């Protein structure tokens, strides 16, 4: 079971139901990242795009259950894939403002947003 940030849980006033949902979502997130580590078809844009879509879906549900507004610029896991080449530190610095993509990233290199 994922350990939730209790201070944050209290501050965001999350319900018991949201707590259960969050446990489920972190498990799903973990599984997605593990699955990607074994994925051999990432050069296929549709396969890579599907991972991006699934990750985004989980992140929106996380925001919802943490009682945050659904903001794609405040996603924290999108560049956590093993094969993602987008910069970590630059993106941490620009958190909430913009996402910095690398063109040669199999997941985000062909995105325009």
The residues of the shown chain that bind Zn ion, judged by CB under 5 A, are: 84, 86, 105, 107-108
Classify 103 as helix, strand or coil.
Answer: coil
Minimum distance, C-beta of residue 1 to Zn ion, in the bound complex (Å): 29
Closer to Zn ion by CB, 32 or 86: give it: 86
Closer to Zn ion by CB, 68 or 110: give it: 110
Minimum distance, C-beta of residue 34 to Zn ion, in the bound complex (Å): 18
Among residues 81, 93, 86, the alpha carbon closest in space to that of 108 is found at: 86
Closer to Zn ion by CB, 30 or 82: give it: 82
Among residues 24, 7, 21, 31, the alpha carbon closest in space to that of 80 is found at: 31
Closer to Zn ion by CB, 29 or 86: give it: 86
Minimum distance, C-beta of residue 87 to Zn ion, in the bound complex (Å): 9
Minimum distance, C-beta of residue 51 to Zn ion, in the bound complex (Å): 10
The total number of residues written for the chain in this structure? 113
Among residues 14, 52, 46, 16, the alpha carbon closest in space to that of 32 is found at: 52
Distance CA(75)–CA(95), nearest Å, equals 8
């Amino acid at each position: 079971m994922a350990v939730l940030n209790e201070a944050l849980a209290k501050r965001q006033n999350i319900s018991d139901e949201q707590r259960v949902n969050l446990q489920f979502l972190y498990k799903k997130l973990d599984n997605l990242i593990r699955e990607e580590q074994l994925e051999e078809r990432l050069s296929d844009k549709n396969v890579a795009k599907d991972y991006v879509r699934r990750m985004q879906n989980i992140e929106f549900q996380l925001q919802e259950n943490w009682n945050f507004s659904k903001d794609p610029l405040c996603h924290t896991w999108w560049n956590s894939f093993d094969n993602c080449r987008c910069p970590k530190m630059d993106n941490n610095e620009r958190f909430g403002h913009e996402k910095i993509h690398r063109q040669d990233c199999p997941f985000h290199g062909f995105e325009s947003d």
